[in-house]
Every structure is written in C-alpha cells, then in structure tokens.
Structure 1
Amino acid sequence: MPEPEEEIENAVAASSTKETGTSSVLAHPTLRALLAIALFTYTAQNMINVSIAPLARAMSIPEWIVGAAVSLAAVAVAMLSQFWGRRSIAWGRRRVLLTALFLAFIAGTLFSGVVALRAAGIAGTVLTASIILLARGPFFGSAVAAIPPTGQALIAENTPDEASRVRGMSAFSGAINLSIMIGSLISSALGMWWIYAPVHATPWFIAIALIIALVAVPKDAPTPKDPDEETPESVALPPRVKWNDSRILPWITGIFGIFFASGVVQITMGFIVQDRLHLDPAHAVSVTALMLLANATGAMLMQLLVVPRLSLPPVILLRTGMTLGFIALATLTFASHGPTIAVATFVLGASSGLASPGFSAGGSLAVSDEEQGGVAGIINATGAVTWIFAPMSATALYGWHPIVPFVLALALVALSVSFAWFHPRLRVAQTR
C-alpha cells in the first residue's frame, strides 16, 4: 500500500495535470518537436491558402484551378495518412518526418518559382496552372499527410485514459490552429506590402520545420514484435484499420459535415470578401487572412483553453460542436457585412475546435493500442476526404451561384448533427 506522503504527491500531481490541461502531454520532447514542426509547416500551408484565391485572379488563372489544387492535395492526404501513420511506428518518426518535409520544401519552392515566372511574364497560363496543381496538390498533400498521424499516434502512446487522450489530441489540434493564426497574420502583413510575398515566404517556413526535425527529433528504432529479437525481419507494420470499421465509422459520420463546411468556407473566403465586401484582389489578401484568422482563433481557443478544462466525454464535445457549427454556418451563408462574416467565421472555428478533439479522442479510444497508427491515419484522412470534394465543388458551384455551396454545406452539417445525436453506437458511448 502506498505511504500517505506518496498518496498526497500523486493527488497533487493529478490535480496539477487537470488544471494545466496539457502539461503532462507536452512533457514528451519528441511531441514538443512535432508541435513546432506542425506550427511552421501549417503556417506555410495557410500562407498559400490565404493568397491563392486573390493570386488566381491577379494572374488571370481560372478559379477552378484553386479548388482543383486543394482537392488534389486532399486526395494525397486521404491516400497516404494511414500509410504514414503505420510507418511512423514501423520505420520511426524521424525518417517519416524528414521525408515528408523534404517533399513539402520542393512543393513550396515550385509554387514560389512559377509565381515569379508568371509575374515576370515568362510562364504562360497552362504552365502556371499545371505547376500550381502539382505543387499545391500531390506534392504538398503527400508531405502534410505525415504530420498529424505521426503526432496522434505518439499522443495515444502517452495518454492511457480518456481525459488525457482528449487533452492531448486537443493540444495537437490547437498547435495546428495556432499555425493558421500565425500564417494569417503573416500573410496579411506581407500581402499589404506585395501580393506575391506570402507565396515566396512559404519555402523558408518549411526549411525551418525541416531543420527542427533534423535537430530535435531523435533517431528512433522501430519496435520489434519480440523484445528479444532485434533483427529487421522482426519489425512489422501495425494493423490496418478499415474505413467501415464499426468502432470508428459512427465518429466519422458524426463529424464529416463540419470538415466539408470548413473546406467550403476557407477556399471561398477569398472570393466572399471580394464579392460581398466589394474589395479588389490586393486588399482581399489581407482581409481574407483576417477572416481565416478569426476562424483559427475560435478553434485554437477551444482546443488549448476550453476543452482541457471542461473534461467532457468525446461524444458530448462532438455533439456540442456540431450543433454550434450548424448555427454559425447558417449565419455565414446569408451574412453580407464584414463584422457579421467575421463573427460567424469565428464561431464556426470554435465549433470545430470542440468537435474535432472529441472525434479524434473518441476514434482513438475505440481501437486497440496496436491499431493506433492506423486509426490516426483514418482520423487525419477523414478531413482530407471531405476536402477532396469541398474545394472543387465549392469553387465550381460558387461560379454558378455564390449561395449554392453554402446550402450544400448546411445540408451535410445537418446530416452529421443527426448522426452525432442519434447514432446508436454514439448513444452507447455517451452511456459509458
């Protein structure tokens, strides 16, 4: 039996962890490095996202190219998320991250180079559009597909219970949303100076993430199946997790609507501020950045400050977030004034910041320890699958009528809300 002093120390430690929310999770040095890598990588990605719509019009590139580039990236993420998640355990995290970040650096350099050639009048429309599709599509998508499942699998490895799993997943998602905030601020400042500046700054941020991986992520050998055997033949890939697995499918159906809605809002925001607020492309870059900043701020505040202190079960976080998201999206659909658009976008981000940690933790807790690499890939790929269709359909439908993509998003969010509240397995999860 523990001594009284040990019981007091354990109680104090548990209380401290609950109060600080994520302190125990962030104590892992590799996870701290992963958070820094995610911060710089997603800052770079968001700098492209903020500027790509105004750039398309400034460079006379068809609007559908914007949606197609992001959709192709989402295809790569959906296809490779579980691939990277399982191999982060079998190969080691360092090898996976260095490979992914090198691909991201190539993508950012290609994007920056073709924009410079187009601005100088050297590259034609077809060449520019093709390289944008390639760089922002499969290259960048393949790279960023590795980071979330690698981090989520590491979090699952270090969080044995529901409360700590929710806090860990929330901290990781919060770091990504913090990077979106930083990317929005930098894009806004650079865009006010020069419309092409955010794109040219992108490779530098990827380079910083690559340096962090080289310096701060230790060499980690794969774990053999038998501790007494250290031969390469003893290392095997973790089990694959199927999309239709009855343990995680309810969580997927309960959240996919908000992912689709976020894709619609983020990819069309550059057009919304130009058309509803009557702005030219140069001014639209900074305003778009501020709108996406509001969205990311809402998500980050929930994930880093609110969710860790609520200590709510995953299913309650999912239901609350999805319901709030439907209200916010309905407001944004018909908003025509800057402050209203900003508030609705902020609340939409907050709703995602509630629902996403619930989804990530709920899906992770539903499977075994051996399946954490696979389920981390599925969790990351779920948002990517919606992004395959959201950007392309949103830009195409927006060109037909600006209200149509939002009506479609509203319908899908309503469907997910109904799944979150009434799916039998999620009702069982609430009872548990």
Structure 2
Amino acid sequence: MPSSPLLTNPTLRALVAIALFTYTAQNMLNVSIAPLSRALDLPEWIVGAAVSLAAAAVTALSQFWGRRSIAWGRRRVILLALILALTAGTLFSAAVWARAAGYIGAFAAAGAIMAARGPFFGAAVAAIPPTGQALVAEVTPDEGSRVRGTSAFSGAINLSVMVGSLVSSALGAWWIFGPVHATPVFVLIALAIALIWLPRDGGTTHPRRHLPRLSHEAAEPKKATPASSIEGTTDSASAEPTDGELPPRVSWTDRRIAPWIASIFGIYFANGVVQITIGFLVQDRGGLEPAPAVSITALMLLANAAGAMLMQLIVVPRLGWGPRRLLRAGMTLALIALTCLTLAPTLWAVAASTFAMGVASGMASPGYSAGASLAVTEREQGGIAGVINATGAITWIVAPVSATALYGWMPLSPFLLALSLVALSCSCAWLLLRKLDIVSRARD
C-alpha cells in the first residue's frame, strides 16, 4: 500500500513531533486535574469549568489558526502557539504549588487554574490540529490517501495521549503534583523542536499588521475540480510561499459539511463526558483515594487512547473503507460501548468499555475528517481544518461542566445524556449520509 505522508513529508513529521509533546503535556493535566481538585480542596465544578473554557478557546480559534497557518506560515503560527502554551503550563504549575504550600486560598487557586488550563492552554493547542490537517489535505490528492493521512495524523495525537497517561501514571505514583510540574517541560521540548526542525516559511511570507480581506469574487469557491480529485499533487506543495492573504471561511451550516458534523458530534460529547468524569468514576466505583486514583485514571485514559491509536495507525489504513462507512461503523460501536460503560460494575469493565470507546472514535474521527475535507475545495482547506478541530471542541464547552455538575447530582445522569446524543448522531450517520456524494458536493 502507498506510504503514509507522515513518512515522506518533513514538515508534517515535525508537526507530529510537536503535537506529541504538546498533547502529552495537555493529557498530563487532564489525568491529574480531577484528583488534584480533591487534594487541593477545590470544588469539583472547577474541573469542568477549566476544560470548558479551554474548549471555548479552541472552538473560537481553530478556524482562525487554520486560515492563518496558510496566510502567515506554519512555523510562525506554531511558535506563537507554543509560547502561549508554555506560559499557561507555567502558570498552572505555579498555582498548584502556591495552593499546596498554603500561600493562596481556594478562590485564587481556582481562578488561576481555570485561566491556565482554560483560555490560555486552549488557545495554544487550537493551532496544532488545523495546521496539520491543512497540510495533510495538501499532500493527499484522493479519497484513499486522505483517509490514510488524516487517520495517521490523528493517531499520532492519540499516541501522545498514551505517552501522557504513562508519564502521568509514573509521576503521579511518585508525587501527586509531579504531572503538573512536568507540563511546562514537555511544552518546552515541543518549542525546541519547532525552532530547530520546523522548516522556515516561504520567503514571501511577511507578517502584516492588517491582513487584507479577500474580495467577494475571490472568496467564492472555485468551480475547478476539488482537492479530492487533483492528480499529481506533490509534497512540495507544503513548501510553496504564502502571500499573506486569508483563505475563505467555511460556514458550519454549509450544506456540504453539515451532515458530517451532525453525524459525529455525539461521540465527541460522549468522549468529553467520559474523559472528564473518569477520575471521579475510578474513585467512586473503585473506592480509591485521590493519590492512587491518579495512576488508575491514567491507565483508563491509556486504554481509551490505545483503542483509538490502534484503529487510526494500524487498522483504518488497511481496511480501505471510505469516510461514510468508517463514520457509520464507529458511531454504531460507540453506542454499544457507551451503554456498557454506563452499566459497568467494576473497574475492569470500565477499562474494557473505555477501550471500546477509543476503538469507536478511531473509526469515526478519520471518516469525519476525511469526508469533510474532501467535500470542500482546495482554497477552503484551511477553513475546513479549523471546523474539523472545532467540532470536537465545541462539544467540550458543554460536556465537562455539565458532566461534572450532573455527576455531583446523580452519577448515572451524564452517561444517559451522552447516550442519547450518540444515538442521535448515529441515526444521522445512517440517514443523512445515505445519498451524499462527496465529490459532487465539493464542486457545488
């Protein structure tokens, strides 16, 4: 089978390495934040609010970063994002240290943690997936290679979740605050990789104080063949100099991509519920204290990420399925797995269910990403990459804070809500995508 663009494109390889360390840092915060809230005597809703604020930042800035990665250049966008992430990680670490030492009260600690893990870190990580997705679209000219490319890039990010879970488990077993204080170190490594190995942007890419807006005629989708059917696209496309002009925005209600969004949002909401409540679920169903719960929570997230990575890096590229079939199979499996998780009586059953949720995500997400990307034109790839990244983020605005609030009221309620939304999206995948012609939609 053709080689993955991850193996042949140096810019994409550098982006994957950066994503590995940045998302490892993010996952260390995700693993430790629930036990930390109890260890630092902070309200449980702080956890949900911090992640929801981060998701709001990702939703607001994903298309911003996706379009500017083309207009400004990838190196400039990534460096700016990583500096912001380093600042956020340092602030989070300082707030936890000050609260644990008794230098600040619960109110100040909660505010600093919400700001650092929320808009600061969210704004930073929002830049990486759309930048990578836009590049994948440039170097994958047909449906088969687009599925392989998006699946491999998503799989690399899930690998970082696994690494973050393992590191968090090891550090958390040694010291509950270890994962928090290690976060800025991993971001610093990502920044070093960007400075050394990320290729410089084209010579014509100069920063402008005010970027010009496209005219109405220029913003219209081209009538030419879409990106999905361009033959002869080469890896050198990523090296073409940019001219500073912003590519067109992509609307969420665009009839070419709305069916894809409706068919995936349920599993993204469910993933938000599972990942943000798993730390509480482990403590309550397993009868564990906060310190040992860090390691078990990390292992649960590791199982989830392992399922997704297994599908995205190994199984999906070899199945040869189209985007529509992948999305339908993934959503159907998600409905079954989430039902099992809702009823799981033991930690072993919870682990098996979270693994199955990861497998479902590993099938559905590449199908959605490839299908939505193939549905638009070449000039819209920066915009659609932002929409793809923001689709998951927008569900996280509501999922964490609602899940933690509902869990505090009745532990079963957030899972029942997630089940209903997964069932709705699964229905959309089978009904709305039935007659969807990806290539003809892109030509409209």
Give the TM-score of the pair, scaled to structure 2: 0.89
Superposed counterparts of 1:166-185, under 5 Å: 166-185=147-166
User: Which residue of the other structure, out of 411, 432, 435, is the alignment partner of 1:427?
Assistant: 435
| 2:130–2:386 Cα contact (<8 Å) kept | yes
* TM-aligned CA deviation for residue 110 of structure 1: 0.3
Cα distance, 1:426–1:156 mapped onto 2, change above 3 Å:
farther
Aligned partners of 1:25, 1:189: CA distance in 2, in Å?
29
Matching of residue 47 in structure 1 with residue 28 in structure 2: yes
Cα distance, 1:259–1:234 mapped onto 2, change above 3 Å:
closer
Matching of residue 386 in structure 1 with residue 395 in structure 2: yes
> Where do 5+ consecutive residues of structure 1 fail to align?
1-14, 227-231
Matching of residue 331 in structure 1 with residue 314 in structure 2: no
User: Which residue of the other structure, out of 49, 52, 71, is the alignment partner of 1:90?
Assistant: 71
Aligned partners of 1:205, 1:331: CA distance in 2, in Å?
35
Identity of aligned residues (%): 68
**How many residues are aligned here?**
407
Aligned partners of 1:428, 1:257: CA distance in 2, in Å?
20
Which residue number in structure 2 is paired with residue 196 of structure 1?
177
Aligned partners of 1:430, 1:203: CA distance in 2, in Å?
42
Which residue number in structure 2 is paired with residue 127 of structure 1?
108
- Kindly provide the amino acid, as one letter, of the partner of residue 332 in structure 1: L
User: Which residue of the other structure, out of 103, 106, 120, is the alignment partner of 1:139?
Assistant: 120
Superposed counterparts of 1:5-20, under 5 Å: 15=1, 17=2, 20=3
Aligned partners of 2:103, 2:269: CA distance in 1, in Å?
37
| 1:70–1:391 Cα contact (<8 Å) kept | yes
Aligned partners of 1:185, 1:92: CA distance in 2, in Å?
33
Which residue number in structure 1 is paired with residue 356 of structure 2?
347
- Kindly provide the amino acid, as one letter, of the partner of residue 428 in structure 1: L
Which residue number in structure 2 is paired with residue 29 of structure 1?
10
Which residue number in structure 2 is paired with residue 5 of structure 1?
none
Cα distance, 1:383–1:233 mapped onto 2, change above 3 Å:
closer
Q: Which structure 1 residue ranges, 4+ long, deviate > 3 Å from structure 2? A: 222-226, 232-235, 429-432
Which residue number in structure 2 is paired with residue 4 of structure 1?
none
Which residue number in structure 1 is paired with residue 221 of structure 2?
none
User: Which residue of the other structure, out of 368, 375, 384, is the alignment partner of 2:377?
Assistant: 368
Aligned partners of 2:387, 2:329: CA distance in 1, in Å?
22
Cα distance, 1:367–1:265 mapped onto 2, change above 3 Å:
same
Which residue number in structure 2 is paired with residue 12 of structure 1?
none
- Kindly provide the amino acid, as one letter, of the partner of residue 254 in structure 1: S
Aligned partners of 2:89, 2:244: CA distance in 1, in Å?
34
| 2:306–2:358 Cα contact (<8 Å) kept | yes
Which residue number in structure 1 is paired with residue 251 of structure 2?
242
* TM-aligned CA deviation for residue 235 of structure 1: 3.3
* TM-aligned CA deviation for residue 60 of structure 1: 0.4
* TM-aligned CA deviation for residue 426 of structure 1: 4.3
User: Which residue of the other structure, out of 293, 301, 324, is the alignment partner of 1:284?
Assistant: 293
- Kindly provide the amino acid, as one letter, of the partner of residue 119 in structure 1: A
User: Which residue of the other structure, out of 219, 236, 260, is the alignment partner of 2:200?
Assistant: 219
- Kindly provide the amino acid, as one letter, of the partner of residue 366 in structure 2: P
Aligned partners of 1:358, 1:234: CA distance in 2, in Å?
32
Q: Secondary structure at the match of 2:436?
A: helix
| 2:72–2:242 Cα contact (<8 Å) kept | no
Q: Secondary structure at the match of 1:327?
A: helix
Which residue number in structure 2 is paired with residue 10 of structure 1?
none
* TM-aligned CA deviation for residue 429 of structure 1: 3.5
| 2:407–2:414 Cα contact (<8 Å) kept | yes
The structure in which a higher percent of residues are helix is 1
| 2:70–2:242 Cα contact (<8 Å) kept | no
| 1:71–1:390 Cα contact (<8 Å) kept | yes
Aligned partners of 2:244, 2:418: CA distance in 1, in Å?
44
Which residue number in structure 2 is paired with residue 67 of structure 1?
48
Matching of residue 358 in structure 1 with residue 367 in structure 2: yes
* TM-aligned CA deviation for residue 25 of structure 1: 4.0
- Kindly provide the amino acid, as one letter, of the partner of residue 425 in structure 2: S
- Kindly provide the amino acid, as one letter, of the partner of residue 26 in structure 2: Q
| 1:89–1:223 Cα contact (<8 Å) kept | no
Cα distance, 1:236–1:426 mapped onto 2, change above 3 Å:
farther
* TM-aligned CA deviation for residue 218 of structure 1: 1.4
Aligned partners of 2:79, 2:420: CA distance in 1, in Å?
40
For residues 349-368 of structure 1, give each alpha carbon's deviation from its aligned partner in whole angstroms, at most 9, with x where no partner exists: 00000000000000000000
Q: Secondary structure at the match of 1:428?
A: coil
Q: Secondary structure at the match of 1:336?
A: coil
| 1:315–1:430 Cα contact (<8 Å) kept | no
Cα distance, 1:393–1:233 mapped onto 2, change above 3 Å:
closer
Superposed counterparts of 1:407-422, under 5 Å: 407-422=416-431
Aligned partners of 1:210, 1:109: CA distance in 2, in Å?
14
| 1:277–1:336 Cα contact (<8 Å) kept | no
* TM-aligned CA deviation for residue 338 of structure 1: 1.3
> Where do 5+ consecutive residues of structure 2 fail to align?
207-213, 219-240
| 1:42–1:176 Cα contact (<8 Å) kept | yes
* TM-aligned CA deviation for residue 220 of structure 1: 1.1
| 1:57–1:63 Cα contact (<8 Å) kept | yes
* TM-aligned CA deviation for residue 327 of structure 1: 0.2
- Kindly provide the amino acid, as one letter, of the partner of residue 264 in structure 1: V
| 1:257–1:409 Cα contact (<8 Å) kept | yes
Aligned partners of 1:427, 1:290: CA distance in 2, in Å?
41
Give the TM-score of the pair, scaled to structure 1: 0.92
Which residue number in structure 2 is paired with residue 405 of structure 1?
414
* TM-aligned CA deviation for residue 236 of structure 1: 1.2
| 1:298–1:348 Cα contact (<8 Å) kept | yes
Q: Secondary structure at the match of 1:237?
A: coil
